[in-house]
Amino acid sequence: MFYKELKDFPDNFLWGASTSAYQVEGAYNEDGKGLSVQDVHEAPEGITDFKVASDHYHRYKEDVALMAELGLKAYRFSIAWSRIIPDGDGEVNEKGIEFYNNLINELVKYHIEPVVTIYHFDLPLELHKKGGWANRNTIDAFVKYAKILFENYGDRVKYWLTINEQNVMINHPNAMNPGKVPSKKELYQGCHNMFVASARVTLLCHEMVEGGKIGPAPNITAIYPEKCNPADVIAADNWEAIRCWLYLDIAVHGRYNNLVWAYLNEKGYTPEIYDGDMEVIAKAKPDYLGINYYATATVAAAKNDGTDCQPRNGDQQIMIGEEGVYRAAKNDYLEITDFGWMVDSIGMRVTLRRIYDRYHLPLLITENGLGAKDELVDGKIHDQYRIDYLQRHFHQTKLALTDGVEIIGYCPWSFIDLVSTHQGYGKRYGFVYVDRDEDDLKEMKRYKKDSFYWYQQVIKENAKSI
Ligand code: BG6
Could you read off the pLDDT of 255-298 as tens digits, one per residue?
Answer: 999 999 999 999 999 999 999 999 999 999 999 999 999 999 99
- Position in ligand 1 atom list of the atom nearest CA 427: 15
Closest to 123 (Cα-Cα) out of 205, 63, 41, 239: 41
14-460, superfamily in CATH? Glycosidases (3.20.20.80)
pLDDT of residue 319: 83
- Position in ligand 1 atom list of the atom nearest CA 369: 11
pLDDT of residue 175: 78
Global pTM?
A: 0.97
Question: Which segments of the chain have a pLDDT < 70?
Answer: 43-48, 313-314
Q: Is 219 in the pocket of ligand 1 (CB under 6 A)?
A: yes
pLDDT of residue 310: 86
pLDDT of residue 317: 79
pLDDT of residue 47: 64
Q: How many CB atoms lie within 10 A of CB 36?
A: 28
Specify the residue with its C-alpha closest to ligand 1, atom 15: 420
- Position in ligand 1 atom list of the atom nearest CA 339: 15
Q: Is 292 in the pocket of ligand 1 (CB under 6 A)?
A: yes
Distance 173 CA to ligand 1 centre (A): 13
Q: Any residues with CB less than 8 A from the CB of 377 and at least 6 apart, and which?
A: none
Q: Is 216 in the pocket of ligand 1 (CB under 6 A)?
A: no
pLDDT of residue 314: 59
pLDDT of residue 46: 62
Closest to 263 (Cα-Cα) out of 243, 291, 288: 243
Catalogue the active-site residues: 165, 367
pLDDT of residue 425: 92
Specify the residue with its C-alpha closest to ligand 1, atom 14: 421
- Report how far residue 193's alpha carbon sits from residue 76's, in angstroms, rounded to the nearest whole number: 25
